[in-house]
Amino acid sequence: MTETSHNGSLRTGLLRRRRSALLAGALSLGVAGVVAGEAFLVPATPAMAEAVKVPGNTAQMPSFADVVQAVEPAVVSIRVKAEARPQTSGFDGMPQGGPFEWFREFGPRSDRGQGQGGPGLPNRGQRGFVTGQGSGFFISGDGFVVTNNHVVDGATEVKVTMDDGTEYDAKVIGVDEKTDVALLKVDADRDFPYVMFDDGDIRVGEWVVAVGNPFGLGGSVTAGIISARGRDIGAGPYDDFLQIDAPINKGNSGGPTFNLQGEVVGVNTAIYSPSGGSVGIGFAIPAATVQQIVEDLKDDGNVTRGWLGVQIQGVNADIADSLGLKDAKGALVTEPQADGPAVAAGIKSGDTITAVDGNAVDDPRDLARRIAGYAPNTDVKITVWRDGKQQEITVKLGTLPTDGKRADATTGKDGSDLAQLGLSVAPAASVGLEDKGLAVVEVDPNGPAAERGVQVGDVIVAVGGQPVGKMADVTAGIEAAKGEGRKAVLFQMRSGENTRYIALPIDKA
């Protein structure tokens, strides 16, 4: 054999062995692949992985379609024509410019539409009027509609548009500024589709659906959950908002939030909005509050609330200790109002209100909400903590004044007295004050008293519940508290016409 033929046979053998090895390797893998540019299709076998399948009992996201289909006919768009007047605050005096959006200003940051003359100006051809939009919903077949007070505030004309485009005139039956609820009425020869309020107690984490008229676009639906309850956002004395993460925007004001049974759990009122749009934090008035207000408005267009007649402040840990209270809860009475129901029933300055009709009171705002929930002339049992023990006092509530004489719940500042705590005092009469007690004549800005808000001109009225007129009375009150094992003693202070309580840490005296 020649060298050439030998080399040719060798090359031929190597090629055959290389092809056989490649084929065997591909078959041994048992998969479809590509070898030397050729595709090898391998039949599936029981040993191969199967496609992912979701078990039949795996939890699924809820469908909101049935809920929306059932409730949407009862939700309406509201269009108003209102007097053009400057708006500088949200409902009940809430300042604008912060992150909470109340839709109250005329112009681009509100439900109100812009006039052709520019933001906040009336349309050309109109004299002193602007238009605006919001949302609402029917609560009865005879045409009662719920919305926000700020949607119809100052309205001279109100139009209600249903989801099928039918439009009706509506009249304002009554409004409640303190809770931002308004009741409208549509009169027509027909029965309207309506929705019911939820009578239950919705829980944090439950699914909800918001329906409304964002940006005037017409009926729109968003979904989310209840993020929190009992939110106090500084809107008014009765804040008790539901927080939801269903996106709501300008124009959703007055629209309903539903549970998955199609019941109204809240009325959308405000959003937390640093940018002016939804960031997923909205606030709704709870159904229970709305129901109560609506029933009152139906009667005569006004809301009447019970009135206790006390100035109150919160209870912190120091105050609780000085009073011998186990928990820092309740509302401390700084002063009963003259001729008020509390005075008539025997409630005194220094009493801590811990319950109303057996229901615990957490703080001053909680007390305000509970009392406001009663009708005037109702007898209620007020549980107070006085002189280290609990007692019940029956009070016949009055009618909450509307002339500004009502005392709002306030959070008192803490303070202290005595020279060791950065104070100099003198009998009030000696510095020309008519008050009985000791007047603060000097405050060390670096002392504990200054830290707690005590100022020159404040008057110490009592220490540990006992009136004071000289330094010895203050010392006696502190020593008595120490003898009872207290860490703080309570000072009653008067500043002008206002009275407050301040807890003084005894170990610094």
Among 77, 110, 135, 150, which one carries the catalytic annotation? Answer: 150
Among 180, 198, 351, 458, which one carries the catalytic annotation? Answer: 180
Among 77, 110, 253, 278, which one carries the catalytic annotation? Answer: 253
Q: Decide: 352 and 363 in contact? Cβ < 8 Å.
A: no
Calculate Rg over the CA atoms of the chain: 35
What burial letters (b/e) apply to 254-282, b meaning 16+ CB within 10 Å? bbbbbbeebbbbbbbbbbbbeeeebeebb
State the DSSP code for 218. Answer: -
φ/ψ of 216, rounded to 5, equals 70, 20
Beta bridge partners, 389, equal 386
Write the single-letter amino acid at 367: L
d(CA 180, CA 162): 22
State yes or no: is 150 an active-site residue: yes
State yes or no: is 6 an active-site residue: no
CA distances from 48 to 26, 28, 33, 51, 413 (A): 16, 14, 15, 10, 73
- At 447, list the tokens: 């002392």
C-alpha dihedral, 463 to 465 to 470 to 476, nearest 10°: -70
φ/ψ of 412, rounded to 5, equals -75, 150
Nearest-CA neighbor of 347 among 338, 147, 233?
338
What are the catalytic residues? 150, 180, 253
